[in-house]
Structure 1
Amino acid sequence: MAPQKKHKILIVDDHPIFCLGMSELINTEEDLLVCGSVESIRKTGEAIDRLQPDLVVVDISLKDGNGIDLVQEIKKNYGLPMLVLSMYDESLYAERALMAGASGYIMKQEAIPLVVEAIRCVLKGDIYASSTVKEKVFKRITSQQNVDSRSPLDVLTNRELEVLRLIGEGFSTKEIADRLHLSIKTIGTYRENLKEKLQLKHFTGLVKFAVHWSNKILH
Structure 2
Amino acid sequence: MTITVLLADDQAMVRRGLRLILEDQPDITVVGEAADGAEAVALARRLCPDVCLVDIRMPRLDGIEVARALAGPGVANPLRVVMVTTFDLDEYVYGALRGGALGFVLKDAGPGLLVEAVRAANAGDALVSPSITLRLLRHITATERTTLTHATKPLSERETEVVRAIGRGRTNREIAAELFISLSTVKSHVSGIQNKLGLRNRVEVAAWAWENQIMRRT
Superposition TM-score tier, normalisation by shorter sequence: 0.5 to 0.7
Deviation of the 1:81 alpha carbon: 0.9
Deviation of the 1:83 alpha carbon: 0.8
Q: Equivalent residue for 1:144?
A: 212
Alignment of 1:121-160 (within 5 A): 121-131=120-130, 132=134, 133=137, 135=167, 137-138=204-205, 140-141=207-208, 143-145=211-213
How many residue pairs are counted as aligned between the two chains?
143
- Could you state the TM-score of these two structures normalised by the residue count of structure 2? 0.58
Deviation of the 1:49 alpha carbon: 3.1
Q: Equivalent residue for 1:75?
A: 71
Which SS does the other structure have where 1:43 is aligned?
helix
RMSD (CA atoms): 2.6
Deviation of the 1:110 alpha carbon: 0.8
* Aligned-pair identity (%): 24
- Could you state the TM-score of these two structures normalised by the residue count of structure 1? 0.57
Kept in 1: contact 2:6–2:51 (CA 8 A): yes
From the superposition, tell whether residues 120 and 45 of structure 1 become closer, same or farther in structure 2 (CA, over 3 Å): same
Task: Report which of the two has the higher share of helix.
Answer: 1
Q: Equivalent residue for 2:33?
A: 37
Distance 2:45 2:61 in 1: 20
Q: Equivalent residue for 1:104?
A: 103
Deviation of the 1:90 alpha carbon: 8.6
Kept in 1: contact 2:41–2:69 (CA 8 A): no
Gaps of 5+ in 1: 147-219
Distance 1:34 1:104 in 2: 18
Gaps of 5+ in 2: 138-165, 169-203
Superposed CA offset, 1:64-86 (max 9, x none): 23211210111144401111001
Residue 22 of structure 2 corresponds to residue 26 of structure 1: yes
Superposed CA offset, 1:60-112 (max 9, x none): 10012321121011114440111100122398444332222111101101143
Residue 14 of structure 2 corresponds to residue 15 of structure 1: no
Deviation of the 1:141 alpha carbon: 2.7
Q: Which of the pair has more CA radius of gyration?
A: 1
Superposed CA offset, 1:157-200 (max 9, x none): xxxxxxxxxxxxxxxxxxxxxxxxxxxxxxxxxxxxxxxxxxxx
